Chains A and B, each alone.
Chain A
Amino acid sequence: MQTVLNLLEAEPIRLFLSFGVILFLVLNLAGILTFAERKVAAYIQLRYGPNRVGPRGFLQPAADVVKLFTKENVSPQRSDLWIFLGAPIAMFLPAAAVWLVVPFAPRSVVADLNVGIVFFIALTSIGALGLIMAGYGSRSTFSLLGAMRGAAQMISYEVPLILSLLGVIMLAGSLSFQDVVNAQAGGFWNWYFLPQLPMFITFYIAGVAEARRVPFDLPEGESEIVGGFMVEYSGMTWGLIQASEFASMALVSAITATLFLGGWQPPFPFLDLGNFNWLWFAIKTALIIFTFQWIRWSLPRLRMDQLMDFGWKVLVPVCLIWLFVTAGAMLAFPSVF
């Protein structure tokens, strides 16, 4: 027994095991999120949503997964098979791997990297690669258009995403997620969304774009390019792409909660739950995910040129201006910070 525990303590094994746990959690999370998505959509649209499988439809995601596994995996005859099949994995793994650095509660983080934010940025950028692979490998006009849109969009929105993080990094003075959360201790007035409000909004919008959700779901473009880069996918490959979409949505929500809404910090000091502080983190993440869904079922989609205009002409200048304001304030009143 003791040897087993000792073996678990060993660094590579611990990391692999935790990654397995994380992978398991993320896949489950994706299932739960599809269910939540459908329920929220249905309630907004005056429907009931899935309510046949299991009590109140809770087993619907399980039924969906069984269905996806039993479906034939069709690939187009002239597709580039390796790229075609590799794309879902290339999309899913980075989205799942970032969860390694997300602090769920004090000290409960798989890898407390001192460059956690850089790790997050680096891995979300890889997501665009999977998207291009999917679009290129399918060998279809629709998916090619979707991939081109996706690449342009992800790269353009990476810029405001990173710029909006700089304010937080400057205030916290660290690139580690744990340090950022610790710096926001002591009530919601210490959270960074108040001093960094424009950055918070920018990060949120850029996050929606990174997760490819309405109104920025141009790579999918349901009504114009019919699913875009994933038009040719079926069965579990499609399921994996969907899982990675939901995982990256949850990820952006979790990062937003961590950086701007205090992570696992309670809104008031007297609400400190001790070991159960991860509940605060879960509640905040769930609320942000809900706003994502609410936006999705209310707004139409932007056009490519409008999307680019919005990213480069509105979000980037706002970020740059607020960066200078933050820097100026820190120089002028060093005692406050």
Chain B
Amino acid sequence: MLGEERKTEETTLSQPVSGRLANPDIRDEFGLETIDMNMGPQHPAMHGLLRLILELDGETVVRCDPVMGYLHRSKEKISENRMYPAVIPITDRIDYMNNMAMEYGYCLAVEKLLDVEIPPRADAIRALMNEFSRIMSHIPSLGFLLLELGAFTPILYAFRERERIQSIMEEVTGARMMFHYIRLGGVKADLPEGMPEKMWEYIEGLENRLQPDFIDLIEGNEIFIARTRGVGKMSPEKAVEMGLTGVPLRCTGVEFDVRKHYPYGWYKNLDFDVVTDDAGDVEASYRCRIGEVRQSIRMIKQILENLPGGEVMGDTGRRIRPAEGDGIARVESARGEYAVHVVSDGSDTPYRVHYRTPCTVNMQLLQEIVPGHYLPDIMPIMGLIDPVSGAWDK
């Protein structure tokens, strides 16, 4: 794979340059050439460690090759050497902005092999925490988008919200980021005393703050609109063809959400809309994210209103040894469809675990969309994908 990539790079470089200039006709007259530029892996706007090989004609990008793998931690191989319950903390560290969904996917996949009944209260709490986790991921991603456009302040307002949710999460799960809360067969512990009221209070507050602190600050800004409208535009056909999921797909107008179309857990009982937008540019993705935060708030309210009682942990037995076979589960993480494939050989440890993270797939958008845009437009397009380094490298 890597060798193949290198080869294509060489062949493209050996081609005559004029074909790839933005204005090829003026090249012959002045003898202009393109600049090769390495953006990353250490770059403030690369969402972690991503290297972009760019070819620039002035400010216009002619070619953009993303190179991944700088944060590869061999999560899949480590998972093979650990006992089933001990893999969950590993999954936490895949997408470190939206950990809950990562745990959820793995647990669902193993539970398909386990023959365990999950109590309804555990299901509801899982969905509840997942939606909190989604808000925790979406709001900072709006901040990151603005940060990359050059405005520094929204990110700090976003992180204020994230901190508050993290405090709630810590009270429930015991940790601020690496929760390790969803377990095989249920959740670790019930919500603490008085927690539903606290969550309700926070959610109401967030609903009030969303308009002034985020929508007015971002949308009420002409420069933001000028920088994002029409940037990174793509057609729904193209998006489906590339296999995009999550916000990058939904902002082109394709209605696809695993929670709605392949419902799992408590999502069957919830009433919510799939937020879509027709424009398919960066501004649309921003509107989608805000809409999804609103839908998450709506879902959290529904769950808190009728939270079922009872146990939170199903009976998995003392030693977890799933039956031989394959377990596949898909969940909607904040970035798109996240799927886990677990192969069991009947022993203590999984035979093979595969994580299908949305970022890896969504990342190919860069290669397709960026050429033809200006150099500063790469940053809002990164904000449209909103990738997480840990998730695309695993």
- Taking beta carbons and an 8 Å cutoff, which residues of A are in contact with B? 41, 44-47, 141-142, 144-145, 149, 214-215, 217, 221-226, 297-306
Contact = CB atoms under 8 A, between A and B. Distances in A.
Nearest to B36: A141
Given A46-B156, A141-B38, A224-B379, 11 more contacts: A141-B37, A142-B37, A145-B56, A223-B149, A225-B375, A226-B43, A299-B223, A300-B224, A301-B151, A306-B226, A306-B227
21 contacts: A45-B152, A45-B156, A47-B156, A141-B37, A145-B56, A214-B150, A215-B223, A223-B45, A223-B150, A223-B379, A224-B375, A225-B375, A226-B43, A226-B44, A297-B151, A298-B151, A298-B153, A299-B221, A300-B151, A300-B221, A304-B374
A297 B43 contact: no
B160 A46 contact: yes
Nearest to B148: A223
A145 B61 CA distance: 13
Nearest to A45: B156
A78 to B, nearest CB: 16
A7 to B, nearest CB: 51
A297 B223 contact: no
Contacts, number: 85
A302 B38 CA distance: 23
B376 A303 contact: yes
Contacts of A41: 152
Contacts of B378: 224
Interface string B143-185: 0001111111100110010000000000000000000000000
B376 A300 contact: no
Contacts of A303: 226-227, 374, 376-377
B160 A224 contact: no
A142 B40 CA distance: 11
Contacts of A145: 35, 37, 56, 59, 375
A300 B160 CA distance: 20
Nearest to A44: B153
Contacts of B223: 215, 299-302
Contact of A141 (B35, B153, B227): B35
B376 A222 contact: no
Contacts of B156: 45-47
A44 B37 CA distance: 35
A224 B376 contact: yes
A305 B377 CA distance: 11
A206 B360 CA distance: 43
Contacts of B374: 303-305
A46 B157 contact: yes
A306 B224 CA distance: 12
Given A298-B151, A300-B146, A301-B150, A224 B45 contact: yes
A310 to B, nearest CB: 10
Contacts of B153: 44-45, 297-298
A222 B374 CA distance: 16
Contacts of B148: 223-224
A142 B35 CA distance: 11
| Most chain A C-beta atoms within 10 Å of own C-beta, residue among B43, B45, B146, B223 | B223
A86 B151 CA distance: 31
Contact of A223 (B44, B221, B377): B44
| Most chain A C-beta atoms within 10 Å of own C-beta, residue among B35, B43, B56, B59 | B59
Interface in B30-83: 35-38, 43-45, 56, 59
Contacts of B379: 223-224
A223 B44 CA distance: 6
A329 to B, nearest CB: 31
Contacts of B224: 300
B169 to A, nearest CB: 21
A120 B37 CA distance: 37
A299 B151 contact: yes
Given A217-B150, A298-B153, A304 B59 contact: yes
A224 B156 CA distance: 20
Contacts of A217: 150
User: Ordered nearest first, which 6 A-B pairs have the shortest CB separation?
Assistant: A301-B150, A300-B149, A300-B151, A45-B156, A300-B150, A223-B45
A91 B35 CA distance: 27
A144 B59 CA distance: 11
Contacts of A301: 149-151, 223, 227, 376
A151 B111 CA distance: 62
Contacts of B56: 145
A305 B60 CA distance: 11
Contacts of B152: 41, 45, 297
Contacts of B151: 214, 297-301
A306 B228 CA distance: 12
A300 B227 contact: yes
| Most chain A C-beta atoms within 10 Å of own C-beta, residue among B157, B375, B376 | B376
A251 B43 CA distance: 33
